[in-house]
A and B are shown apart, each in its own frame.
Chain A
Amino acid sequence: MPWTTVQVEKLDNFFIKGDSTGDRVLTYREALHEAFDQSLARDPKVFIMGEGVDDVAGVFGTTKGLKEKYGENRVFDTPISENSLTGIAAGAAMAGLRPIFIHARMDFLLLSLDQLVNHASKWCYMFGGKVKVPMVVRTISARGWGSGAQHSQCIQGMLMNVPGLKIVAPATPYDAKGLMVSSIIDNSPVLFVEHRWLHKTTGHVPEELYSIPIGKGVIRRKGEDITIVAVSYMLVEALKAAEKLQESGISAEVVDPRTLKPLDEEILLESVAKTGRLLITDTGCKTGGTASEISALVCEKAFHLLKKPIVRVCCPDAPTPASDVLEKAYYPDSETICREVKNLLK
């Protein structure tokens, strides 16, 4: 069994409440699978490619059985050529198709930055909107089990600096399906950021095809004393922290931006206007990351609303260590968030 599976199976079965009504419960992984299945069925222009997408594991189960159902022209394995495959996906998109290109680790995305940044993201602007690149680049980060420095990176913050690229980072099964559908039907390149530790998370997911607007965040938990903006997997840690903080009489509002670019400024600023305190937690490294950008945005537009300095809870500026002891010291969790919130409210 692959190590990531071992690690993820050990996690609690975290249930996300209040995302949608109905009693149909799916895991994040199943929700994604359904998004692919329904999108492939709905639009013959959609196809999926990437290393191992058609093998027995099917990218942690998210693409399992799709080749058998839709054929090898719609779901196929690729050589390990991340950069050119990104350009090949972009070229296919320019010719009218809607490719989904998958990196099983976000680290591998770094090999493709020429085609992603220099080409796909710039093409629409550089040619005055005459050529569109409707493609999805799906990446999965992981953590734990000694993954180490090259199998655990979360570089979404780095890529927020790329004009023309949309970035979504859904944290719930409902959002995973809805935002994958939105990413596929969007006419710009979209980076779909997933975290392996979310794959087992469960929540209500409607069976029908639906989309969620890109650029719209959501309030996951209402509160008065502090705003916690939580990105991707850190939402799970933030919700756990908010529950614990409640026991100490602290009312935390948890905001899930869902899309990192373009950011939902309104929801962030409204929440800060209410609480006057802000903690941002992201899965990536601290400097120049997602949390930095959100922090800058709030300072720029709502400095007068802040009662206290902004706090960022992220990974430190160091490569990920493999040792379980060092890993534990490296990754922030709900305890870290609780501690920082309490410090802030002192």
Chain B
Amino acid sequence: MEKSKLIEMYRTMRLIRLIEQRINDEYKYDEIKTPIHLSIGQEAVAAGVCIHLRKDDYIFGTHRSHSQYIAKGGDIKKMIAELYLRKTGCAYGRGGSMHLVDPDVGILGSSAIVGGSIPLGTGTALASKLLNNDRVTVVFFGDGAVDEGTFHESLNFAALKKLPVVYVCENNFYAINSHQLARQVGDNIYKWAQNYGMPGYQIDGNDVLEVSDYAEKAISRCRNGEGPTLIECLTYRWKGHIGTVDDVGEGYRPKEEYDYWISKCPIKRFTEYLKNMGVLTDELIKNIDQEIYDLIEEAFCFAQNSPKPSPDELLNFVYAD
């Protein structure tokens, strides 16, 4: 991979991490009045996949979609303003953290219903096929979504119609507090792909290079009209399901498990790799961080100083023009 792309992936992961940490820090002031689901620890999946997408490709996400929105190039100021539920937010304060949107870069909206966006992304892929263009859709979802019928129905249809869609399962092992093995017999989500008639892989979702490698192949299959792929990325969320809670040791997530995954921090690993390669220097790291801090500061200032929607706008947009 080109040096510039490696740095771009690094920058995206840092951007996600630092934005999420800032949200985490600001949340206690009660100005972000919307449920948040942080992506800290899962940055490599969105960064490794989106590096291969064009601006006009589509992505769909879930309630935990900050990382995908950022990686796909969604407008950061409008994202933070949406978290503050301001008129300047990407959904004018109607969506909140779980419903980020930026159609200019192919983000047509994320769903807060588990598995809910899997059919929608299958539908944009159907549109690409019917319109005979080469736009690819990537649908991001968690291991919990595999419990839902929409996962199975959509994979079947996408394979049947050879649709240009990549299903990316961010398996962080937990649906709220419920472990994957409490909900599913096996721990091999990728194997569903075989029976639905598409390639399926289980990969290290904390290794951005591995994610990028598999995503590139899957996306190129889509562009060549060869149909969908399922990629199960094993990863881990550092924070609790919702808000800013740290729930380790409170009964459901063992400390040893958490420590293991912290040791596999996707950003730390990639930083070390890039430094060994000579791609990243301490100075460059500092410069990138500074640029990101400035961008974040600007976004939060913009959001905090933006007007709130006015009550007379309440019934706008119930129906489309």
Chain B residue with Cβ nearest A96? B127
Closest to A93 in B: B123
Please report the C-alpha to C-alpha distance between residue A126 and residue B317 in the assembled complex, in whole angstroms.
8
When the two chains form the complex, which single residue of B120, B135, B320 contacts A90, counting CB atoms closer than 8 Å?
A: B120
Cα–Cα, bound, A132→B113 (Å): 19
Which of B16-24, B103-111, B186-194 is the contact stretch?
B103-111
Residues in chain A near residue B321, CB distance under 8 A: 129, 187
Q: Is B41 an interface residue (CB 8 A)?
A: no
CB neighbours of B60 from chain A (8 A)? 91
Given contacts A83-B150, A90-B119, A130-B101, contact A166 B319 (CB under 8 A): yes
In the bound assembly, the distance between CA atoms of A123 and B153 in angstroms comes to: 21
> Is the beta-carbon distance between B111 and A119 smaller than 8 angstroms?
yes
Asked whether A114 lies within 8 Å of B120 as measured between CB atoms, the reply is no
How many angstroms from the CA of A86 to the CA of B157 in the assembled complex? Answer: 12
Asked if A124 and B317 make an inter-chain contact with CB atoms under 8 angstroms apart, the answer reads yes
Give the residues in chain A near B101, CB-CB below 8 Å. 127-128, 130-131
Of B126, B135, B160, which is within 8 A of A92 by CB? B126
Tell me, yes or no, whether B67 is within 8 Å of chain A by CB.
no
A131 lies within 8 A of B130 (CB): no
> Contacts A47-B130, A133-B320, A164-B318 known; A94 to B108 CB distance under 8 Å?
yes
Interface residue stretch chosen among B87-95, B202-210, B280-288: B87-95
Taking the complex as formed, is B128 at the interface, i.e. its CB lies under 8 A from any CB of chain A? yes
**Chain A residues near B150 (CB-CB < 8 A):** 83-84, 87, 114-115
How far is B108's CA from A132's CA once the two chains are assembled, in angstroms? 9
Complex CA–CA separation, A91 to B139 (angstroms): 12
User: Would you call B48 an interface residue if the criterion is a C-beta within 8 Å of the partner chain's C-beta atoms?
Assistant: no
CB neighbours of A134 from chain B (8 A): 320
Check B116–A87 contact: CB distance below 8 A: yes
- Given A78-B157, A84-B150 in contact, is the A91-B119 Cβ separation under 8 Å? yes
Contact flag A95-B91 (CB < 8 Å), given A84-B153, A119-B113, A164-B319 = no
**Cα A124 to Cα B127 with chains together (Å):** 19
Q: Does A16 sit within 8 A of B, measured CB to CB?
A: no
Across-interface contacts of A115 in B (CB, < 8 A)? 116, 119, 150
Chain B residue contacts of A85, Cβ below 8 A: 119, 153, 157
A79 close to B (CB within 8 Å): yes
Instruction: List which B110-134 residues lie within 8 A (CB) of chain A.
Output: 111, 113, 116, 118-131
The count of chain A contact residues (Cβ–Cβ below 8 Å) is 42
Assess whether B95 is in contact with A126, with CB atoms less than 8 Å apart.
yes
Knowing A92-B126, A92-B127, A119-B120, say if A84 contacts B149 (CB, 8 Å). yes
B197-220 contacts to A, CB under 8 A, are none
Interface residue ranges of A80-137 to B (CB < 8 Å): 81, 83-97, 114-115, 118-119, 123-134
- Nearest B residue to A95 by beta-carbon distance? B127
State how many angstroms separate the Cβ of B125 from the closest Cβ of chain A: 8
Q: Mark A158-170, 1 if CB is under 8 A from B, else 0.
A: 0000011010000
Which residues of B222-245 have CB atoms within 8 Å of chain A's CB atoms?
none
Q: How many residues of B contact A (CB 8 A)?
A: 44
B123 to A91, Cβ gap below 8 A? yes
Is A128's CB under 8 angstroms from B319's CB? Answer: no
Chain A: CB-nearest residue to B122: A88
Question: For A86, A95, A163, A166, which residue has the most chain B Cβ atoms within 10 angstroms?
Answer: A95
Contact B123 A79 (CB under 8 A): no
B130 with A130: CB separation less than 8 A: no
**Chain A contacts for B120, CB-based, 8 A:** 87-88, 90-91, 94, 119
Let me know if A87 and B319 touch, CB within 8 A.
Answer: no
Q: Quick check: is A73 within 8 A (CB to CB) of the other chain?
A: yes
| A306 shortest CB reach to chain B, Å | 29
Interface check B156, CB cutoff 8 A: yes
How far apart sit A123 and B110, CA to CA, in the bound complex (Å)?
A: 10
For B94, give the chain A residue with the smallest CB separation: A128
What's the nearest-Cβ distance from chain B to residue A118, in Å?
5
Smallest distance from the beta carbon of B84 to chain A beta carbons, Å?
Answer: 15
A114 pairs with B153, CB closer than 8 A: no
Complex contact B156–A123 (CB within 8 A)? no
Known: A79-B153, A91-B123. 20 other contacts (CB 8 A): A81-B149, A84-B157, A85-B119, A87-B120, A87-B154, A88-B123, A88-B157, A92-B130, A94-B108, A95-B123, A115-B119, A118-B113, A119-B111, A123-B109, A124-B317, A126-B95, A130-B90, A134-B320, A166-B319, A187-B321
* 5 smallest beta-carbon distances between A and B, as pairs: A91-B123, A87-B119, A95-B127, A84-B153, A81-B153
Which chain A residues have a beta carbon within 8 Å of chain B's beta carbons?
47, 73-74, 78-79, 81, 83-97, 114-115, 118-119, 123-134, 163-164, 166, 187-188
Instruction: Report B's interface with A, CB cutoff 8 A.
Output: 58, 60, 90-95, 99, 101, 103, 108-109, 111, 113, 116, 118-131, 135, 149-150, 153-154, 156-157, 160, 316-321
18 A–B pairs (Cβ distance < 8 Å), ordered by A: A81-B153, A84-B122, A87-B120, A88-B119, A88-B154, A89-B123, A91-B123, A91-B124, A92-B126, A97-B130, A127-B90, A127-B94, A127-B99, A127-B109, A128-B317, A130-B101, A164-B318, A188-B319
